[in-house]
Amino acid sequence: MRLDGAVHPPGAPGDGGRAATPITIPAALLPGDGRFGCGPAKVRPEAVAELAAAGTRLLGTSHRQAPVRDQVARLRRGIAALLDVPDGYEVVLGNGGAAAFWEVAVFCLVRQRAQAAAFGEFGARFAQSVGAAPFLDPPRVREADPGAAATLVAEAGVDTYATPQNETSTGVAVPVRRVPGADAGALMLHDATSAAGALPVDLRETDVYYFAPQKAFGADGGLWIAVLSPAARERAARIRETGRYVPAFLDLGTALENSRREQTYNTPALATVLLAAAQTDWLRARGGLPWAARRCAESAGLLYRWAERSPVASPFVTDPALRSPVVVAIDFAPEVDAAALAAHLRANGVVDTEPYRGLGRNQLRVATFPAVEPADVEALTHCLDYLIARM
């Protein structure tokens, strides 16, 4: 069998995995569900079953009519309850995923100058989007090396501060906090794409908490969801009045008007809406955000402790306070080829443990979102032990 799973381009470090003969892991050691990807991430079979059952009533029907609008309402209400949305904040939806929301923020939320934290791929990409906008001042970018975190600092003239809550490319998580001493009226934006629904948050500490549902919300992608404070909605309305050109697809005011009618500006992926709503209800029924946060911390802790004990592995993020409870990056000593390890796992049905492409390290990256069973994470550590002893 050929092992085509490794994401490294040919010749990249650790490319040796391709040529290896797969090692068969005994069935008793394998996790019940082998999906450990950081997005798309594991979708619970129960949610897929609910989608299948609803299929003929919902899929292929108008998103302007009650059956689909009821699902949008279920999702918006569920998110508001799960995240304990403060009075006056609103849950808004649109199409295009988190990357589309970056452009929404550029057009509709940044007035003149933003400060952005870039300590990995996703934070850096938002900073690039701001920098590319000809109608804005160049952003102030606060950088840190992968594996560390950059902090935002108050700066006169900055009207928008932005950071990821969880940098999915490196597995670094930071608390959601406003920037002390920022100008009055400055907005705080958090990219919570891989954090929302799994990490604790007090939404009063931010104005815009946005994410896409293919990570902790265990759904498919293609949608963005943003919780907006009154100040964020006010900012978007004022910018609209200045006459700035805003593409209709990226207009936050239009998204807000549609969301209030339980709709989206254009056609959403109906399956994504239903899967995200099902996951939100599941999280709430199990104990909400505190339950999800405990479960993710338990799963991630199994892996971090395994790496700390291992003579050939170590957590990539050296500061324990910054280690993500949902994205665990593990470095390996040179004698263990991590790409080969990921390829062997893949050949045994344990998938998407490859590291973030751009990082180029001898590393594995494992998602421990709420849908992932802690027992399956423990099984993964046994699979790693089994493979390392035989490679």
Judged by the rule CB under 6 A, the positions of this chain that interact with ligand PLP are 39, 97-99, 122, 164, 168, 191, 193-194, 212, 221
Instruction: State in angstroms the smallest separation of the CB of 221 from ligand PLP.
Output: 5
Least Cβ distance, residue 121 to ligand PLP (angstroms)? 8
Minimal distance, residue 110 CB to ligand PLP, in Å: 17
- Nearest of 232, 231, 213, 230 to residue 222 by alpha carbon: 213
How far apart CA 89 and CA 290 sit, in angstroms, is 21
Which class for 378: exposed (0-12), middle (13-18), buried (19 or more C-beta within 10 A)? middle
| Rounded distance between C-alpha atoms, residue 195 and residue 200, angstroms | 8
Pairing of β 140-143 and β 114-118 = parallel
Residue 347 CB, nearest distance to ligand PLP (Å)? 26
Cβ 274 to ligand PLP shortest distance, Å: 17
**The two three-digit tokens of residue 221, written as one number:** 């992608």
**Nearest residue to 58 (alpha-carbon basis) of 272, 259, 255:** 272
> Which CB, 119 or 282, lies closer to ligand PLP?
119
Closest CB to ligand PLP among residues 332, 356: 356
Smallest separation (angstroms) from ligand PLP to the CB of 257: 23
- By beta-carbon proximity to ligand PLP, the closer residue of 98 and 239 is 98
- Residue 218, classed as helix, strand or coil, is coil
- Among residues 209 and 332, whose Cβ is nearest to ligand PLP? 209
Shortest separation between residue 87's beta carbon and ligand PLP, angstroms: 27
Residue 133: count other Cβ atoms within 10 Å of its Cβ: 16
Where does the chain show beta strands of DSSP type E? 90-95, 114-118, 140-143, 160-164, 166-167, 172-173, 187-191, 208-211, 223-228, 313-315, 327-332, 363-367
CA distance 215 to 157: 35
125 or 240: CB nearest ligand PLP: 125
Cβ-closest position to ligand PLP: 97
Cα-based distances in Å from 217 to 193, 266, 281:
9, 22, 10
Q: Is the CB of 160 or the CB of 193 nearer to ligand PLP? A: 193
Q: Which is nearer to ligand PLP, 58 or 212 (CB)?
A: 212
Q: Pick the closer one to ligand PLP by CB: 194 or 263.
A: 194
Q: How far apart are CA 338 and CA 361, in angstroms?
A: 9
Smallest gap from residue 164 Cβ to ligand PLP (A): 5
Give the angle 150-156-160 at the CA atoms, nearest 5°: 60
